[in-house]
Amino acid sequence: MPSLWKRISFSAASVLCVGSVALLLVALSTERWVTGHILCKTGVDLVNASHPELELFTGHVYYGLFRGGKTKKCGLGTRRSKIHFPKLVRTLNGGLHVMVILFLLAAVFFALVSLSFSIYNARKVPYQSIKGHKGLYLWNGIAAVLVTLAAVCFLAAVRHHSLTERVVNYRENLFALVVLDDKLDWSFWLSIASATTHLAVCGVVAMSRIKLPKAEVKIPEQPTISSLDLLY
């Protein structure tokens, strides 16, 4: 049976692993990886709009890994449409996009493996090193690296392969849309927080190896009886 300090440490590691899995699942399922503003260039050119009038042709775009949406203003009122990535695979760099999803799913798997090992160490003392501290370092390290690779691939798709521009101009036959600005939003940062959580787990596991001083119980001294005392 592990000591009280180890049970507390591995229980905290288990909570962090659960938090990491939750962060990754929320990041995968939400639509706020990127948000930005788009300009309807065709509408601006038609009316020769000046700077104060550009606001009338400025819309909004947001998307995640599976879906998103956009609002465009081209002089015909505000029009909203949904974005579904399975239909966009041919126009995007599909390999990068699929790699992001696969890396994150693999990170979820290793986070669950780390969770099971944390619970095991909180209840028992493992006989094999791979089931103990070394295994937890390994699984959490792999999960953190996978999330980092997913973030790098997504950044490459957005910055170097013009992901936002391709998304907003998908099936736009009449209007040309220009991306004014785009930024990484909270869904992306949730995945980064998940990688940080795995590093925190490694720190907690390392702390579990600290040996706390045991409280010393003072034993009352027994009175010593000499031979002279016995004579009396």
DSSP string, 32-95: -SEEEEEEEHHHHHHHT--GGGGGGGEEEEEE-SSEEEEEEESSS-EEEEEEEGGGGTTTTTHH
Half-sphere CA count of 131, side-chain side, radius 13 A? 11
Domain of residue 63 covers: 4-207
The phi, psi pair for 172, rounded to 5°, reads -100, 95
The whole-number pLDDT of residue 140 equals 94
In a domain, 176, yes or no: yes
The whole-number pLDDT of residue 104 equals 96
CB 58 within 8 A of CB 180: yes
In a domain, 164, yes or no: yes
Cα–Cα distance measured from residue 173 to residue 170, given in angstroms and rounded to the nearest whole number: 9
Structure confidence by residue, pLDDT tens digits, 131-173: 788 889 999 999 999 999 999 999 998 988 888 888 888 878 8
Give the total number of structural domains in the chain. 1
In a domain, 138, yes or no: yes
The whole-number pLDDT of residue 49 equals 74
Task: Report the CATH number that the domain containing residue 42 is assigned in CATH.
Answer: 1.20.140
The whole-number pLDDT of residue 160 equals 86
What are the pLDDT tens digits along the chain (232 aa)? 667 778 888 899 999 999 999 999 999 999 999 999 998 888 888 777 777 778 888 889 999 998 889 998 887 778 888 888 776 766 676 788 889 999 999 999 999 999 999 998 888 876 566 778 888 999 999 999 999 999 999 999 898 888 888 888 887 888 888 898 999 999 999 999 999 999 999 999 988 777 655 555 555 565 565 555 545 4
The whole-number pLDDT of residue 85 equals 78
In a domain, 15, yes or no: yes
Reading the block at residue 67, the tokens are: 């879906």
In a domain, 213, yes or no: no
pTM: 0.84
